[in-house]
């Protein structure tokens, strides 16, 4: 997040970075489960001629949590895929700040709608207790993967809201300074790579 160091109290910065660190560790630890599982599926199916029982059922919650926590990390680091060419066309930092602010506000609005829908999905699951929808073999409640969806959107909304707050607080000049610093550091790191 570009403006986090300049716009927040140090305890809040530590809190946000701790949340990001926890999510990063969770994704890094659980991500290897997917290829390892598929490796064993191949070994079991084609060499041992057995079936790895209901592996897709316990992989489903893991996949949902990894995907949506990873999406939240993408929102924090501002690494989403986009086709924006304005920053290559103009050097007007006020225009770049305004463009970024408008994009963040649109993303925030869309994310709030998705958070609401995810909450409706979770509340529907909770209301159905004890008749929860479950997987067929292992009886894993669908609440677990759906909770991952809700948490991922909640973190995305939090990071989007924080970004809008920091951009409004910094203004065009603060954003320009942070952007120049980021580009300078990036140029130095690329120079060290060669």
pLDDT at 66: 95
pLDDT along the chain (194 residues), means of 10: 80 94 95 92 91 89 95 90 71 86 94 97 93 91 95 96 93 86 83 64
The pLDDT score that the predictor gives to residue 127 is 94
The pLDDT value given to residue 94: 86
Break the chain into its structural domains and give their ranges: 4-193
Smallest CA-to-CA distance from 84 within 65, 66, 100 is with 100
Residue 159: is it exposed, middle or buried by C-beta count within 10 angstroms (0-12/13-18/19+)? Answer: buried
Q: What is the pLDDT of residue 41?
A: 92
- The Cα–Cα gap between 26 and 118 comes to 21
Q: What is the pLDDT of residue 83?
A: 67
């Amino acid at each position: 997040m570009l403006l986090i160091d300049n716009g927040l109290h140090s305890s809040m910065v530590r809190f946000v970075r701790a949340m990001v660190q926890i999510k990063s560790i969770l994704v890094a630890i659980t991500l290897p489960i997917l290829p390892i599982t598929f490796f064993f599926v191949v070994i079991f199916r084609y060499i041992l001629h057995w079936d790895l029982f209901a592996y897709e059922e316990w992989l489903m919650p893991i996949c949902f949590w990894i995907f949506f926590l990873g999406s939240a990390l993408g929102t924090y680091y501002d690494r989403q895929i986009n086709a924006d060419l304005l920053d290559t066309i103009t050097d007007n930092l006020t225009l770049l700040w305004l463009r970024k602010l408008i994009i963040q506000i649109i993303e925030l609005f869309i994310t709030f709608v998705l958070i609401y829908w995810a909450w409706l999905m979770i509340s529907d699951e909770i209301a159905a207790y004890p008749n929860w929808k479950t997987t067929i073999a292992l009886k894993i409640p669908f609440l677990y993967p759906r909770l991952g969806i809700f948490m991922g959107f909640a973190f995305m909304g939090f990071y989007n809201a924080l970004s809008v707050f920091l951009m409004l607080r910094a203004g065009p000049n603060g954003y320009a300074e942070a952007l120049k610093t980021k580009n300078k550091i990036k140029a130095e790191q690329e120079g060290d790579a060669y």
